[in-house]
Structure 1
Amino acid sequence: MVPGAAVLLRTPQGTFTAAVGTTELGTSTPPAADTHFRIASNTKTMTSALIVLLAQDGKLRFGDPVSRYVSGVPGGDTITIAQLLKMRSGLYDYTEAPELAAALDADPGKVFTPQDVLAMAFRRPPPFPPGTAYQYNNTNYALLGLVAEKVDGRPLAQQMQERLWGPLGLRQTSLPTATDTSMPQRYSHGYCYGGSADAFVDLPYPPDLQAAARAGTLQPTDYTHQNPSYATAAGGAISTSDDMATWIRALTSGKVFNAEFQRQWLDSLQPEDPNAPDGQKYGYGISYQRFAPNAAMWYHGGELLGFNSFIGYDPAGDVTLTIWAGLTLAPDGRATAVALLPTVLSEIYAGLWLPPAPTPT
């Protein structure tokens, strides 16, 4: 029941693509490796890369308190840049604030600044003290975007173009301005059942909605041109499967940082659950998981209204994988691209038992 989805796989044996469905309901245009889509939280891999490069330049340190760069952060003197990068700040996640979803549903074109969304987080109590737990949290990366702009003195999009996309030849990747809701040609439309809150918090759909979707009496809403300015540094970029495959391989194989900071980036991983040290790990804007004895990937996921995606690289096998779908959540509540992951990995690493897909991000 996903309108369209695309898989791109690069291995030493060749490049393989698989696409199903259409880029727009009511048409028959199939997705392709050069189709633009909103990459959502995969943007975090780029924001974090800028922060690491600024540390490499000596312009900041991972142990610096965020209050050195952004004022008004609750407990900002005790929250470090490293804790923001690793999702351990303890700050409230602004995407869980009901007023954000309500504002977007009332006005899909509404423009948000980072300060707007941070204010939603800052007026709520932190769920835990800094550094004591892991919680995937967009507030961290909204702050890191402001840190990068404060330290470098240039807009985030300009920094990404000059330091990341340009040097790596990512010509189809962009970070729109706050008022730009357009998509570069050619692009996929993105759909979601329900309202904005359904995509932000991944709550199960009610049974009547599931039944109507399966019966075809309820069609998903087209969210392609909803203003994504609420995401920006945390999830506002647009790209293609081709560019994302190039990006995740370059980032994880040492083409972005020097040797010293590549090692720090690799060593930043911490288990998300301290009781499962061999499970999912999250570091400086990157996840790592072993899916089977010879199947381990550095990866990230992305989800926002209209799209769900996964990018990953396995250095041992030189396997690069990207998956995206033009529907946030399936009627049964599964994150679409992430739900495809076990099936795709079982094809790549044939015959191996695979644990459940990682938690959507």
Structure 2
Amino acid sequence: MTVGLWAPGKAGYVRAFGTADTTTNAPMSPRFNMRIGSVTKTFTVTALLRLVDHKQVSLDDPISTYVHSVPNDNHITLRHLAQMRSGLFNYLLDDDFIKDYVTDPHRTFTTAEMLAYSFKHPAAFPAGSQFQYSNTNTLLLAMVVEKATGLPFDRYVTRHVLKPAHLTYTFMPKGTEFPAPHAHGYTNQTANHSIADTTHWNPLGGPSGAMISTLYDLRSWASTLAEGTLLSKATQAERLTMKPTGLQGIGYGLGVFINHGWIGHNGSLPGYQTVMVYLPAVKATLVVHTTSDIDVRGKALGTKFAKTITGIVTPKNVYDIKAS
């Protein structure tokens, strides 16, 4: 794992532990490129909110304005999608998708294929009435960005989010590319639950979970996200309007959560987990990367590290996600 903890007036704590490759025993480094999973969603929703500020889209537009044949599409707005309150089924939980992915984890799925796994299922509830985390939502928001701008999503997010945020080592891969130096990742999400090296597996999800970044880029992005540097004050206020999730101490806004006072996002995919959060009360930033997504005593590895660290340094604001 690698961890970075920073706060004004205090020496930064940056450490790497363990090995980056169990075959060579190469050591971990805080300078590595890492797959960041669902932290990607913070960039995708920021791209959408930049369009809101430029009056190119409205949060209250129905998804049917941009994408057709979405279940309940006339009632699901862009706001519902960004808030994880659309009711659309998460394609990652579809039995056929799981079978297809486990059978060939190097396979590339198109956006249309991923949406097809989701759209076999009806919307679970009226839009806006409940929280339900779904990668399908962010896939659709990336399609909205493409429709509104005429640009491929990766090009738009690079020009209008990554470059203005001065993030040099963060990008959306087109496939399974993973530039060196990087750490290998390990999972037991396999057909027989044996541990496998996932370094070159399809990272899944594109705009929902495929981005690559570094500890230091995420340090910068955490404060940009929480303080709204790239957005108008009004749009940032919309982003940080947290709705209940049903999880104790956790609310979800527009592509961002608050976890016992910490603002940011976590991410998990086979072989990698990330926690990237910012505590406005003391302007502290915490970034954790792990090279495994294997639960420890029923809890995500990234969550356990973040809980332990914040329990020491900010005991009144302990990051935690209870099993749901």
TM-score range, shorter chain: over 0.9
Which residue of 134, 137, 143 maps to 1:137? 134
Task: Give the Cα–Cα distance (whole angstroms) in 2 for the partners of residues 154 and 92 of structure 1.
Answer: 27
SS at match of 1:298: strand
SS, match of residue 21 in structure 2:
coil
**Is this contact kept in 2: 1:303–1:360, CA < 8 A?**
no
1:35-50 matches, cutoff 5 A: 35-50=32-47
Aligned twin of 1:83:
80
Which residue of the partner structure matches residue 284 of structure 1? Answer: 254
Partner of 1:10: 6
Where does structure 2 lack aligned partners over 5 or more consecutive residues?
none
Alpha-carbon distance, 1:333 to partner? 3.8
* Aligned positions of 1:220-239 closer than 5 A: 220-228=195-203, 230-239=204-213
Q: What percentage of aligned pairs have identical amino acids?
A: 30
**Which 10-residue stretch deviates more, 57-66 or 256-265?**
256-265
Q: Distance in 1 between matches of 2:322 and 2:29?
A: 26
66-75 or 15-24: which moved more?
A: 15-24
**Residues 182/247 of structure 1: CA separation in 2 closer, same or farther (3 Å cut):** same
In 2, the alpha carbon distance for the partners of 1:320 and 1:237 equals 20
The corresponding residue for 2:293 is: 328
- Secondary structure in 2 matching 1:168: coil
The aligned residue for residue 260 of structure 1 is: 234
Tell me, in whole angstroms, the C-alpha distance in 2 between the residues paired with 1:97 and 1:336: 24
Give the Cα separation in 2 of the matches to 1:265 and 1:182: 31
- Does residue 1:270 correspond to 2:243, yes or no? yes
Q: When the two structures are superposed, what TM-score results if normalisation uses the length of structure 1?
A: 0.85
In angstroms, what is the RMSD of aligned CA positions?
Answer: 1.9
Contact 2:266 2:276 in 1 (8 A): yes
Greater CA drift, 324-333 or 43-52 = 324-333
Inter-partner Cα distance in structure 2 for 1:55 and 1:68: 15
Residue type of the alignment partner of 2:320: A
> Does the 8 Å CA contact 2:91/2:136 hold for their aligned counterparts?
yes
> What is the CA-CA distance between 1:115 and the residue it aligns to?
1.1
Give the letter aligned to residue 336 of structure 1: L
Deviation at 1:125, TM superposition (A): 2.0
Amino acid in the other structure paired with 1:187: H
Residue segments in structure 1 that go unaligned for 5+ positions in a row: 199-208, 210-217, 291-295
Q: How does 1:90-101 map to 2 (within 5 A)?
A: 90-101=87-98
Deviation of 1:192 after TM superposition, in Å, equals 0.3
Residues 193, 331 of structure 1: 8 Å contact kept:
no
Distance 1:331 1:262, change over 3 A: closer
Q: 2:284 aligns with which of 313, 319, 328?
A: 319
Conserved? CA contact 2:294–2:301, under 8 Å:
yes
Structure 2: which amino acid aligns with 1:110? R
1:181-224 deviations in Å (ceiling 9; x for gaps): 1211110111101327x9xxxxxxxxxx7xxxxxxxx6x20011
Q: 1:15 to 1:303 in 2, by over 3 A?
A: same
Residue of structure 2 equivalent to 1:306:
271
Q: How many equivalent residue pairs?
A: 323
> What is the DSSP-based 3-state SS (H/G/I as helix, E as strand, rest coil) of the residue aligned with 2:202?
coil
3-state DSSP of counterpart to 1:42: helix
SS at match of 2:267: strand
Q: Does 1:66 align with 2:63?
A: yes
8 Å Cα contact 1:335/1:360 also seen in 2? no
Contact 2:186/2:198 (<8 A) preserved: yes
